[in-house]
Each structure stands twice: as structure tokens, then as C-alpha cells.
Amino acid sequence: MNAQIIAVGSELLTPLRVDTNSLAITERLNAVGIDVRLKAVVGDDRTELARVFRQAIAQVDLVVLTGGLGPTSDDVTRDAVAEVLRLPLDEDPAIVERIRQRFAARGWQMPAINRQQGQVPRGAVVLPNANGTAPGLWIEHGAVMVLLLPGPPRELMPILDRVIEARLAPKTGGRRLYRRVLKITGRAESHVEERAQPVYVRWRDAEPPISTTILAALGQIELHLALISGDRARAGEALDRAVGELVAALGDSVYSTDGRTLEQVVGGLLREKALHIATAESCTGGLLASRLTDVPGSSDYVDRGVVCYSNRAKVELLGVPESLIAEFGAVSEPVAEAMARGIRDRAGVDLGVGITGIAGPGGGSEAKPVGTVAVAAAWGALTMVKTFRFIGAREQVKHQAAQSGLDMVRRMLLAPPR
Amino acid sequence: MNAQIIAVGSELLTPLRVDTNSLAITERLNAVGIDVRLKAVVGDDRTELARVFRQAIAQVDLVVLTGGLGPTSDDVTRDAVAEVLRLPLDEDPAIVERIRQRFAARGWQMPAINRQQGQVPRGAVVLPNANGTAPGLWIEHGAVMVLLLPGPPRELMPILDRVIEARLAPKTGGRRLYRRVLKITGRAESHVEERAQPVYVRWRDAEPPISTTILAALGQIELHLALISGDRARAGEALDRAVGELVAALGDSVYSTDGRTLEQVVGGLLREKALHIATAESCTGGLLASRLTDVPGSSDYVDRGVVCYSNRAKVELLGVPESLIAEFGAVSEPVAEAMARGIRDRAGVDLGVGITGIAGPGGGSEAKPVGTVAVAAAWGALTMVKTFRFIGAREQVKHQAAQSGLDMVRRMLLAPPR
């Protein structure tokens, strides 16, 4: 079964807003084995929408329209759909009454224009909207199914989920899409591809076939595996086996196979080992600490962090010897190590991280160009330190440096001190 | 003049990628007075793309296609366009030679498949691509203009900018869209709307009319003003006057009218007054320091920051009296004040900020629910402190709290101590 998504709204044709609803809708449709073949964005223009909708019903099995169900004259979706399908619009008193009650609950009278939201193309199924005034509508027109949904995500998603379970999943014969995501850091995309490709090509012709997509961003690579199957247990087994083979090929560069972020994985390891951590940051400016503390409950293992932008702060807050800075420079492995040990000892915690580097755009030199970052971690007698050369603008360098700091802690916790 | 944008690529029909190129393209087209009437996303399917493209050329003056110009069999844009316009494809030896040289510069031989990128629909103008192998193509077909652009933004944008200046701007009679953005914080959307609406309704019927759009996100509201005019000076004057009136109505809640971020504005004020700042954060976990240091050159005015997740760290690093924490609780105005003064005095800088709160999801109580955050700033004899109740999940609370910390510093610097 295949689908087209039509997002309605003139604001989606400006530089200010992009249609993101279609991502969540696609995910839900894919999950029950429905492919999205086309997406369109149309303004609040009844003639234009009618034209696009008329083409859509000639091409696909399911047309999902979002937005344009409000009470104003700009809201044209109901009218355009009814016109194309040649269905008269009837007022549904139950819808109008529900809207009236929503307003009454806040002590307001329903504005007259909201009555328009009670108009229903004859024969359509009304899909109640718990979070807004505009209900969804479901229309079966010959072999084509049409679904009208309100635009706001918190109104749209609950209606969509119910429709998928009640009306779409039964038509796809229990076939569903199952996914796994491997998250990888500390490796170049080409390296990951080189290792992963010989593994995943074998599944493309397997039964059922598993498709693989690589998504690369600075400091992070994701491998998305997907499989369509009518048998949940068999799909789960096939994906588990595939994930296992990829992890064997890629080793400890894979930090997550269950959707967790790097900071969640690091937090989980710290919690499991009942360790406390403290951070000392220069060029990342607090980003490492901020990411660590994005995780709920992180106050259980994050004790403190310091951001030492000035050399004086490095000396005062971390006890980094001035002579070390003078000899090697503020951006150097010895200073990163001294920062990691300094914060660990001063905070009296188990594990310290130190990051010092040149985020740019200024401050680079031939020997230490912009993007040079020294990262160190110290845990008991064990110290790790490494110098990176990151590419990208200031915020990208910060992001990659924080990512490397987190990953160094992760690797250290996986390979405990002997 | 109006346009349709067609983004080509099967990855854009998955839940993983959204077409964001169209936002930048829309901005550039709007700037020379071209409206975007429709957007479509099509997979790597030649028949489907040909169908959508055929409809597009019947509807609009300009069709912009992005993506699908690569060298593989998945890249169907050139073929689909040539088929619909009934233009034969000729190999352009100059393009092939340029691609060969790009590869040679890295010591590689050009793969045979890249030859396909030298295929040009007869009569098309080749638009050189400085950042990749696939050139753009410009075709005038009767009254319709067709522009083919490569998918990667860094390849696409330079080609688009040149086409707009050389070919599109001259056709729109010098009429251009001029914009201004007012950024506002510390106010609810309804408050901003109430104050701004009586001001901007007057311009809607002015000559030339100015349109106004409100975009609200947690902790930030933007007012976008836009005006189409053939006279740059007159447009600038009208917008300056409009911005002035809105600023008069909204007061110092407006922190930027020139595109700068809140951290850039705060950094600008610190630099201008030759002041140094230090931060003490609990619930924001370093986010405030990280945002301050996102600004290039911030090492000139950011001295240090501390993240005090444990009460012990608050006592040790900031000298917050334990008795204060015991009496008022770690999340309280007295503790926030003591944090701000403590970091300022220990760092020996001019200005300190303190933030302590409950980011959630755990840790809330009836008296201090999740989202309760105390923010303080101290500069000389002047202290400001305020308690907020933010809504949203953990990361949203962090974001709003950091935003409020920055805004408090901004307000303090604008109203210097007497």
C-alpha cells in the first residue's frame, strides 16, 4: 500500500516554517508497511488544493492531508476535499456541541465561525480530537482512502495512531516495519562503510531482506536497519542477529543499539559502577557538562564542572601549574591531563575530564590550527589523552569536542584500570 | 512571478530526512519578489518525477528542482526533465573535462559513471558548480523557466545566488522583498500580540504594505516584518520606522533588531563596557556558559563558569553558606544571589550570574514544582533576582532558564548601577 501526504498552510511556503509533521506521519505509516510515495505542500488556496488532491487520489491508495481544518476562511481543506469527491457537506450537531462545550469549560461562548468545523462530507467517519476543536475525518472513496488531520502535532498524532491501529494496520495483513539504529562515534564515515558494507550486503537478498541506511553527521554516524515482516518474533530475531554482526565488525565504536544518546550511555555506566564525575572545560565552554546533565537523574553522578576560559581560572580552579601552560601552551595534552586530574582531585570524585582547544574562528596557528583540541580523562591510576583536529565552524568544533570527551569516558569505563 | 520547488530524493520520503533546502531557496526567491506556490518531494523515480514536473510547468513561471543530478542510476532528474521538455541529451565535453580534473587534483581517476553528469538537455545553460561535480542547468522553455540544482546545500546555494542575480532579479523589475526581525524575550506571546497588533495593523493597508508574522517558541518570540518594493531606500526607511514603533510599544523586551542572538547581544554589551563575566549554574548544567561561549571572541569577556550540581560544590566553589541552603533550600532566591556574588568575587570579575532550579522530571515538590528556577545577577552594588516557573520537559526548562539568565544580564547592563 502507498500514500501521499499533503500539508496545507501558506506559512509552510515561507522561509520560516518547514513541514515536519510528515516525518512523524511517515514513520507511523512505514511501521505498518505503507510507503510514502510523494509529499506536497500547498498554501491556503482552495483551487490549488483541489487540483493537487485530485491528482493524488488518482495515484495512491491513501491520501493524508494535514492542516486547513480550522474555523477561518483560510481553512479550505474540508471544502476542497468535498468538492473533488463530490460529497455534500452536512453539519454534524454532535461536533458543534463538543466545540461549544470546550469553550464553555473555559467560561467562553463559542464564536460563530467555529460552527464551520462541524461540517462533514457526507459519509465521512468523524475522528474525535481530544486536544483541539477540529476533528479528523476518514473517507473511503472507491478504492482510495482519505484521511484529514488537524495541523498541530499534539492534535494530529493521537488521531493518526488510532486510525492506524483501527483502520490501516488490519488492511496490511499484519505486515509491519521493524527498525534498529546503531549509533557510532570516533570513526570516519568511510571507515564505518568499509567495515559495515560486507556485512549488510548479505542481508539485502536474505528473506526477509534487511535494508541499511547510513546517516553521517559531524562526530556521529548512525546505521539504520529496517525490515518488513508479518512475524514480530522472526523480525526481532533477524534484526538482533544483524545488529550483532555489525557490532562484531565495528567493535566498541558502536555506543548504542537501543536508541540511547551518548550522554545516556555514559550516565548509565557511571550509575552502574556507582562513580561520580566532574568536568573541566575550556573550548567547549560548558557544553560537555550541559550534555551530561541533559539526562534526567544525572545529579546522582555529576558532581560539578568548571569552565576555565582564562589561564588564571585553569590555575586557580584546577591547580594546573603555570609552568605547564608556559612550556606546552594552554592547548596541549599535558594541560588537558592536568585539568582532568585537577578537577577530579579538587572535587574528590572518581573520574575527571579535561578539554582544551581552539574552537575558532580566531586563535589558530600553523602548529595548532583552529579545530585542534586536546581531550583527557583520569580515573584512578588510568589516564587517557588524545589530540584531535576537528573541522567545521566554532559550534561544530565545540560539539565534536564534547562528543569526544563523552566517548573517551565511555571507553575508559568499558576498559577499567588494571 | 511564482514558482514551484521540487525536491528529488527517496531519502526525503523517509522519516529520517526533511527537505530543508526549500527554506533557503524560498528565502532567496522571495527576496526578488518571487512567490513559492507549491512544494513537492518526489523519490528517485523517473516516471513519477516526470509526472510531477509536467504538472508543474503547466502551473507556474519557474520550476526549481533540487537533487538527483549525481552520477548513479538513482539520479533521474536530468532524464525526467529532458523527457518532458522533449529535449535530446548531448554530452558536454567541457563538463566531463572539469569533473576529470576534480578527480585528478586528488590523484584519482574519474569513474566511468561520472560521465553521465556531462549530459546536458539541448539548449540548456550550464551553471558551473565550484563545490562539486554536478553543474546546475538553466532552461527556458516557452514562457516557463526551469532550474536544476544539485542537492547538497553548499553546492546549491552559490549556483542559486548567481542565477537569481543574473537571470531572475532582472525579470522582476527591481522589486525585492525586504525583511526585519525583532527578537523578544521575557514576555508571553499574548502580551506581545496585544502590544504589537495595534501598531502593525496600520501598516497592512499602508503603501507599500508591511506584513507581520509572529513566531513563538519557549523563551523567545520573533516578529518578522516584510515589505516588497522597487525602491531600496524607501523600503529601508519604512521598515526602520516600523521597527522603531514596535520597539517603542514593546520596550526593552526587544533585545535584537539586527539578527543577533541573545548571547551575541550580551557579549556586545560586555565588550563595549569592558566588563568580565563568570557564571554559576546548577540546573542549567553549563548551558548558560556554553551559549555565552558560542560567540567568537567570547574569551575576551568570559572568565570562567562553574557547574555546581552537588550542594557541596556550591559551598566549596562559591562559598554559599551551608546555613543558607539549609534555611531556604538549594532552589531559592537567597542561594541564587549567593551563587552570583560568590562566583563574581572568587573569579575577581565584574559580573556574576547564578542559576538554581528543578529541571525535572524528578525533584519537584508542591511548593517548588518542576520548572521552578531562581536566577540572580550581581554587578557592583546591584543585584537582581527572580523566580520563574517554566513549563516543558527537562531540556526546555534548561533552555528557558539559560535564556532568562542571559536576559537578566542584558537588562542589568542596560540599567547600570547608580
Give me A52's grid cell: 493537487
Rounded Cα distance between B298 and B268, Å, is 9
For the domain A177-256, what is the CATH code? Answer: 3.30.70.2860
User: pLDDT tens, A257-268?
Assistant: 999 999 999 999
Contacts of A37 in chain B (CB under 8 A): 13, 43, 45, 48
What was the pLDDT predicted at B417? 53
Q: Measure CB to CB from residue A39 to each of B13, B297, B305 and give the nearest one.
A: B13
In the predicted structure, residue B401 carries a pLDDT above the cut 90: yes
Fold of B2-172: Molybdenum Cofactor Biosythetic Enzyme; Chain A (3.40.980)
Decide if domain B262-414 falls under CATH 3.90.950.20. Answer: yes
CB A136 within 8 A of CB A148: yes
Rounded Cα distance between B200 and B276, Å, is 39
Rounded Cα distance between A354 and A379, Å, is 12
Contacts of B56 in chain A (CB under 8 A): none
User: pLDDT above 70 covers what percent of chain B?
Assistant: 99
The residue among B350 and A177 whose pLDDT is bigger is B350
Burial track A337-349 (b if 16+ CB lie within 10 A, e otherwise):
bbbbbbbbebbeb
The reply to whether B2-172 and B262-414 are identical in fold is: no
B279–A307 CB contact, under 8 Å: yes
In the predicted structure, residue B418 carries a pLDDT above the cut 80: no
What was the pLDDT predicted at A417? 53
User: pLDDT tens, B10-44?
Assistant: 989 999 888 999 999 999 999 998 999 999 999 99
Decide if domain B176-256 falls under CATH 3.30.70.2860. Answer: yes
User: pLDDT tens, B71-114?
Assistant: 888 889 999 999 999 999 999 999 999 999 988 888 888 888 88
B37–A48 CB contact, under 8 Å: yes
Give me B10's grid cell: 527517496
The neighbouring-strand residues paired with B137 are B126, B148
A26–B19 CB contact, under 8 Å: no
What was the pLDDT predicted at B143? 94
- A213 and B CB contact within 8 Å: yes
Give, in order, the Cα–Cα distances in Å from A166 to each of A150, A169, A222: 19, 7, 33
**Terminal CA-to-CA distance of chain B, rounded, Å?**
57
CB B372 within 8 A of CB B360: no
In the predicted structure, residue B69 carries a pLDDT above the cut 80: yes
Element (H, E) at A313: helix A311-318
Q: Which range among A11-25, A81-95, B38-52, B280-294 shows the weakest confidence by mean pLDDT?
A: A11-25
What was the pLDDT predicted at B206? 83
Find the mean pLDDT for residues A56-84: 94
A307–B289 CB contact, under 8 Å: yes
Amino acid at B19: D
User: pLDDT tens, B167-187?
Assistant: 999 988 788 889 999 999 998
Q: Measure CB to CB from residue A309 to each of B36, B288, B303 and give the nearest one.
A: B303
CB A22 within 8 A of CB A82: no
pLDDT bin (cut points 50, 70, 90) of residue B68 is very high
Find the mean pLDDT for residues B375-381: 96
User: pLDDT tens, A100-157?
Assistant: 998 888 888 888 888 889 999 999 999 999 988 899 999 999 999 999 999 999 899 9
Mean pLDDT of chain A: 93
User: pLDDT tens, A156-170?
Assistant: 999 999 999 999 999
Contacts of A309 in chain B (CB under 8 A): 293, 298-299, 302-305
In the predicted structure, residue B236 carries a pLDDT above the cut 80: yes
User: pLDDT above 90 covers what percent of chain A?
Assistant: 78
**What phi and psi values does residue B7 have, to the nearest 5 degrees?**
-95, 130
On whether the pTM is more than 0.90, the answer is: no
In chain B, which among 163-192 make CB contacts under 8 A with chain A? none
Domain coordinates of chain A in residue numbers? Answer: 2-172, 177-256, 262-414
In chain B, which among 244-283 make CB contacts under 8 A with chain A? 279, 281
In the predicted structure, residue A416 carries a pLDDT above the cut 90: no
What was the pLDDT predicted at A150? 95
Rounded Cα distance between B415 and B418, Å, is 9
